C-alpha cells in the first residue's frame, strides 16, 4: 500500500525540479528550435528535456508504473499504475514568454487519479492533492469557491486550436455564458485552469478536445478540494470523453446545462 501523503511530496519535488529546469531555459530560449507536431500544436526542446527529467525520477519512485506522456519520450502502460505527464502545459505561452505555464504530473490507479501535482513555474506555486487527503497550495489547504449563481461566477475555458467541427456550437455557448456570468478567462493551460478552480480562483472550467495529460492531475485537485467534474455529455468519464466541466456542484451543474443545450 502506497503512503500517498509521503509519495505526493516526492512527486512534488520532481515537478519543482522540472520547473526549475524550465525556468532556467526560458532565460535564453532558442526559438529556432521550435517544432510543430500538428496544426498550431507546438513543442520545444524544453518540453522534451523537462519530460526526460520527470520520467527518470519517477521510474525510481514507482518502478512498476507505466507512463502516458505528452512528448512520448516513453510510452508504456502499467498493469495497475500509470504516470500521466505534461512536462510543460502551456507551451505556446512559454514560447511567447507569457507567464502562464506549468508542470503537470498525475498518478492513476486503474485509470483513476490518486496523486496530482500542478507546479506553476513562473510564480513558484505548487498545487497538489492525493486521494482522500485534500488539496493544497504550497502546504496550505485549498477549497473551491462557494458561488451558487452564474452572475457571481468567473469562468475559465480554452479555445480549440484544431478540430473545429464544434466551433459554431462553442461560439454560441460562449455568447450565452458571457451574458450570464461575471466573466470568462482563457489563460492557455488546462492544468492551471483546473488548479485555479480547486483554489477558488475560478468558479468553473470547461473545455473539450483535451488529452489525459491536460487534466488528470487537475481533476484530482478539484475533487479533493470538494468539487465535481463532468464530461460534456454529463457523465463522469472525463479522461475517456476528452472533455471537462469542473467546479463546485452548483456552478458545474449550471454550466453543464448550458453545454448540453448548445452541444446537442
Q: Which of 122, 141, 160 is the last residue of a domain?
A: 141
pLDDT band at 161 (very low <50, low <70, confident <90, very high): low
CA distance 177 to 44: 35
**pLDDT per residue over 50-101, tens digit each?**
999 999 999 999 999 999 998 777 778 888 999 999 999 999 999 999 999 9
Regarding whether 77 and 26 lie in a shared domain, the answer is yes
| 128 and 160 together in one domain | no
- What pLDDT, on the 0 to 100 scale, is given for residue 74? 75
Does the pLDDT value for residue 39 go beyond 50? no
Q: Are residues 171 and 249 in the same domain?
A: yes
Mean pLDDT of 103-125: 97
> Same domain for 203 and 128?
no
> Is the model's pLDDT at 167 over the cut of 90?
no
Task: Report whether pLDDT(159) > 90.
Answer: no
Residues 210 and 124 in one domain: no
> What pLDDT, on the 0 to 100 scale, is given for residue 42?
52
In terms of domains, do 33 and 91 share one? yes
Instruction: Say if residue 20's pLDDT is above 60.
Output: yes
Tell me the CB-side half-sphere exposure of residue 257, using CA atoms within 13 A. 9
- The CATH number assigned to the domain holding 249 equals 3.40.190.80
> Average model confidence (pLDDT) for the chain?
92
Mean pLDDT of 132-148: 97
One domain for residues 162 and 236: yes
- Residue 15 sits in the same domain as residue 136: yes
Give the three-class secondary structure for 154.
Answer: strand
Look up the CATH number of the domain holding residue 92: 3.30.540.10
pLDDT-derived band of residue 40, with 50, 70 and 90 as boundaries?
Answer: very low
- Are the beta carbons of 28 and 45 closer than 8 angstroms? no
Pick 192 or 36 by higher pLDDT: 192
* pTM, 2 dp: 0.94
**Total of domains in the chain:** 2
Residue scoring higher pLDDT (154 or 72)? 154
CA distance 87 to 34: 16
**With contact defined as beta carbons under 8 Å apart, do 216 and 84 qualify?**
yes
pLDDT band at 233 (very low <50, low <70, confident <90, very high): very high
Q: Which of 114, 141, 168 is the last residue before a domain boundary?
A: 141
Phi, psi of 204 (to 5 degrees): -160, 150
Task: Say what the pLDDT of residue 162 is.
Answer: 62
Residues 155 and 137 in one domain: no
Q: Tell me what pLDDT residue 16 has.
A: 98
Range of the domain at 107: 4-141
Query: What is the chain's alpha carbon radius of gyration, rounded to the nearest angstrom?
Result: 17
Amino acid at each position: 500500500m502506497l503512503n500517498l501523503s509521503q509519495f505526493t511530496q516526492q512527486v512534488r519535488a520532481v515537478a519543482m525540479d522540472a520547473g526549475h529546469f524550465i525556468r532556467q531555459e526560458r532565460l535564453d530560449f532558442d526559438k529556432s528550435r521550435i517544432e510543430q507536431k500538428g496544426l498550431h500544436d507546438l513543442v520545444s526542446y524544453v518540453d522534451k528535456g523537462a519530460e526526460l527529467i520527470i520520467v527518470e525520477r519517477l521510474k525510481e519512485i514507482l518502478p512498476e508504473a507505466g507512463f502516458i506522456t505528452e512528448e512520448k519520450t516513453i510510452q508504456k502502460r502499467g498493469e495497475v499504475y500509470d504516470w500521466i505527464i505534461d512536462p510543460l502545459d502551456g507551451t505556446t505561452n512559454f514560447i511567447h514568454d507569457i507567464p502562464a505555464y506549468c508542470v503537470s504530473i498525475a498518478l492513476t490507479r486503474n485509470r483513476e487519479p490518486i496523486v496530482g501535482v500542478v507546479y506553476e513555474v513562473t510564480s513558484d506555486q505548487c498545487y497538489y492533492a492525493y486521494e482522500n487527503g485534500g488539496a493544497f497550495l504550497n502546504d496550505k489547504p485549498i477549497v473551491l469557491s462557494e458561488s451558487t449563481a452564474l452572475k457571481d461566477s468567473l469562468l475559465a475555458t480554452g479555445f480549440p486550436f484544431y478540430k473545429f467541427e464544434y466551433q459554431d456550437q462553442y461560439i454560441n455557448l460562449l455568447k450565452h455564458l458571457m451574458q450570464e456570468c461575471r466573466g470568462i478567462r482563457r489563460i492557455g493551460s488546462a492544468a492551471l485552469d483546473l488548479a485555479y478552480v480547486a483554489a477558488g480562483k475560478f468558479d468553473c472550467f470547461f473545455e473539450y478536445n483535451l488529452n489525459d495529460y491536460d487534466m488528470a492531475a487537475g481533476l484530482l485537485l478539484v475533487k479533493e478540494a470538494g468539487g465535481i467534474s463532468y464530461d460534456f455529455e454529463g457523465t463522469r468519464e472525463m479522461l475517456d470523453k476528452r472533455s471537462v466541466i469542473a467546479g463546485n456542484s452548483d456552478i458545474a451543474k449550471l454550466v453543464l446545462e448550458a453545454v448540453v443545450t448548445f452541444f446537442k
